[in-house]
Structure 1
Amino acid sequence: MQVYTTIRELREALEEKRREGKRIGLVPTMGFLHAGHASLLERARRESDTVVLSIFVNPTQFGPNEDLDRYPRDPEGDLRLARDNGVDYVFMPEPSEMYPRPSATGIAVSGITSVLCGASRPGHFDGVALVVSKLFHIVKPHRAYFGMKDAQQVAVITRMVEDLNLDVEIVPCPIVREDSGLALSSRNVYLSDEEKRQALVLSESLSRSPIWLQEAGGDALALQKQIAEHIAKTPLADIDYVQVLTYPDLERPTTAAAAKSAWIIALAVRFGKTRLIDNRLLSLEELALAAPPIPQGTKGV
């Protein structure tokens, strides 16, 4: 495994691999790696000849009052996990390498960034789109692997790639959870034992959602209200948002019977000073099960 800190060195190493016809897989991260990241690396290893892991806490996606300075970092642990999961190249640049001067060029993916985390973190996804675009241009991967825990990020990056005709395949990967059901996150380290216990209400609510949707007759707003009320009963839970939207377009749905695409149930809730996100996709098949049956004798349209 080779570790690079400069764009030039990484590009030179990867250019040799491309000349050899090797397929390159990229896993972009901000470090403090855990089993969720390991699952991305494992898949990239299976599907790629050369695996590149980037570790970069990107300052352009943090707001002025967010946790850039206290974002957890463990470079030695990250390198151990990378080595254990068969990474070929690790890219660990300093901010001055990625942004030698303030960027005069930006990337804004409109529409789908105006809801969920984009609504409460203005400019966040502009920073995400910028740094991911830079990484794609530096690494030139055939595939890039992203966890579905941040499903909005996956939707934003996928749309950016589609709109800009970038030559990379985005591979969404399933959420990895602790045995308790809590979604793995680098920010879980901030949680006290009691906050961590109460945070299980998120995965519990998501697991109950198909039943609640059936009880609501397939009504999206009724499901959203049911989930929010259930989470609000947890003393330490401070809800940022609970939303049910179509996926990946992130529009307001009406009923399961009218669904033309999957739905996402997306949550952002604070426990103490820690903001956690989680989500669950409801497939068209699951939505069809929640839709009320058409009364006999009624013609379909």
Structure 2
Amino acid sequence: MTAATAILQMICPDQPGLVRELSGWVAGNGGNIVHADHHSDQGAGLFLSRIEWQLEGFGLPREAIAPAAASLAERLGGEQTVTFSDERPAVAIFVSKQDHCLLDLLWRVRTGELPMRVPLVVSNHPDLGPIAEEFGAQFALVPISNANRGEAEARHLELLAEHGIELVILAKYMQVLTPSFLAAFDPPDAFHRVINIHHSFLPAFMGAQPYHRAWERGVKLIGATGHYVTDELDAGPIIAQSTVNVSHRDEVEDLIRKGRDTERLALARAVRLHLKRQVMVYRGRTAVFE
């Protein structure tokens, strides 16, 4: 088993010497750096950094690393988060009736590909309950409509708190999360907590029935987009995208069939990048360190 590492993500105003400052902080505490990625956005005047180092031999105990990193970020005028590679965050998957993304995620968790736990599956329809239970997750049926949306989302928040959920994945959950729900579970900062899969190559064909609209336009390439969720529909920062070729012989049903494969791949990749703390969000866009 790979030795545990600590991961520091930092966003701060750009200035000379930041690479030396951050790597020096790790080295000064006896840390052996295994990955270091940095990006200086000259237009935004921001510096983004992801540094990962071995915990073995590090001079600070695990519980002291985050407070020390917070002090460093405060001195640099930025924001940070510290995570550890051996953590398995509790994740809730929200679904409706389509099962392909749910099955794919649960299978990848079972095989160890995605370092997370799924104690909870939430749906507005009963169809996928047996799948959730087969993989050992509690299935929570919460019907939702415009008439009861506030009450339903309050129940969602109760379930998330009850299970200690750190990340929500919308795996073909055909409902729009309200700003009040997002404000309660995912306050706006550089480290988002809700991921959605959209069945188009955003920003093309936002909203409903993108495959139908793509077929009407006669496109030769369709795709899927894994992105963070914000108040603006299908406009959150993009994490990962996948595409597939289509032809004039394909009907709408063929686009939907091919699209399911791209949806699975894009969502799994987006979730893995998030779990590995390889994504950083700033000014509505992402830096993805691979």
TM-score normalised to structure 2 length: 0.32
Which is richer in helix?
1
TM-score normalised to structure 1 length: 0.31
Which is richer in strand?
2
